[in-house]
Structure 1
Amino acid sequence: MSKVSRKIISTLSAPKPVAPYNQAVQVDRTLYLSGVLGLDKNTNKLVTGGIVAEARQALENLGKILNASDSSYENALSSY
């Protein structure tokens, strides 16, 4: 039986989580992200400008977490 590797991913380039969870967890070759919001990393508050600005910021934050795990949008799938 093989051993499963698990690694916590954390980067200062993206906002801290607003609840007790990690920015991402890598289990073997799968990266799990959750709760990525349109927050400013310096204030941990939603960016101003409404839903478009918040969505753009959330996607930027997601990209920074992907980069911290040596991944990118090219490798991303959605469970949506």
Structure 2
Amino acid sequence: MRSIIRTEQAPAPVGPYNQAIAASGKMLFVAGQIALHPQTGQIVGEGDVTQQTQQVLSNLQAILAEAGASFSDVVKTTVFLADMNDFAAMNTVYATAFGEDSAPARACVEVARLPKDVRVEIDCIAVLPE
């Protein structure tokens, strides 16, 4: 079983993908989110990884909520940074959503370029509550 998850509280996809897919009623695969404001479609915090990470987490939270999940249900994230020098600033904001006691497994990589030249993109996998 496969269900598409969509919410207007997060940016609409900018390509041929969905915000998230719930699989077998148990797993939620959330597409990478960037710092797009859901209503305006504009980048938030141009060049500021702190503001961009806050917006990315807000977008992820909205998609998780639409599927009936929260940050505590996330089991894996991948963080893509345009510059690894932004790691500490991103990590400080990231920690507001994922505390040490419930933080998911995570990979973090520096990439050559991100969509719309943002500083950060994050995707996640969650286990949907029963």
Task: Verify the 8 A CA contact 1:24 1:34 in the aligned structure 2.
Answer: yes
Instruction: Look up the match of 1:59.
Output: 57
Supply the distance in 1 between the matched residues of 2:40 and 2:32 (Cα, whole angstroms).
17
Instruction: Look up the match of 1:33.
Output: 30
Tell me, yes or no, if structure 1 residue 45 matches structure 2 residue 42.
yes
Supply the distance in 2 between the matched residues of 1:43 and 1:51 (Cα, whole angstroms).
19
Supply the distance in 2 between the matched residues of 1:11 and 1:23 (Cα, whole angstroms).
8
45-54 or 25-34: which moved more?
45-54
Query: Which has more strand, going by share of residues?
Result: 2
| Runs of 4+ with deviation above 6 angstroms | none
Instruction: Look up the match of 1:77.
Output: 75
For these two proteins, the number of residue pairs brought into alignment is: 76
Supply the distance in 2 between the matched residues of 1:45 and 1:51 (Cα, whole angstroms).
15
Q: Which runs of 5+ in 2 are unaligned?
A: 78-106, 108-130
Q: CA RMSD in A?
A: 1.2
- 1:48 Cα deviation after fit: 2.4
- 1:40 Cα deviation after fit: 0.6
Supply the distance in 1 between the matched residues of 2:58 and 2:45 (Cα, whole angstroms).
15
Q: Tell me the percent identity.
A: 33
TM-score of the pair, normalised by structure 1: 0.87
Q: Which runs of 5+ in 1 are unaligned?
A: none
Tell me, yes or no, if structure 1 residue 13 matches structure 2 residue 9.
yes
**Equivalent residue letter for 2:41:** N
TM-score of the pair, normalised by structure 2: 0.55
- 1:45 Cα deviation after fit: 2.0
